[in-house]
Amino acid sequence: PGGRPSANLLTLDDIVVREWGDTAVIAAEWRFRRGEGGPVQRGPCTIVLFRTEGGYRIVHTHFSNA
């Protein structure tokens, strides 16, 4: 909803999810392509979520180029 269409593409691959009580941690590899046919950039990422009455909420993200 909103904004304008973009040819950019961000995906997550090799996703691993671990849960500890109301906290979940996702580790994955991000891949980003700017525009159609552009070079693919990639790196590791971590997303931390906390469970609330309304569902999971992202409380922290980290993306690296390493």
Q: What is the pLDDT of residues 3-60, one digit of tens each?
A: 888 888 899 999 999 999 999 999 999 999 988 777 899 999 999 999 999 999 999 9
Check residue 31 and give its pLDDT.
Answer: 94
DSSP 2-25: -S-----EEEEEEEEEEEETTEEE
Is the pTM above the cut of 0.85? no
Decide if 57 contacts 49 (C-beta within 8 A). Answer: yes
Distance in angstroms (rounded) separating the CA atoms of residues 62 and 54: 23
More confident residue, 1 or 16: 16
CB count within 10 Å of CB 26 equals 16
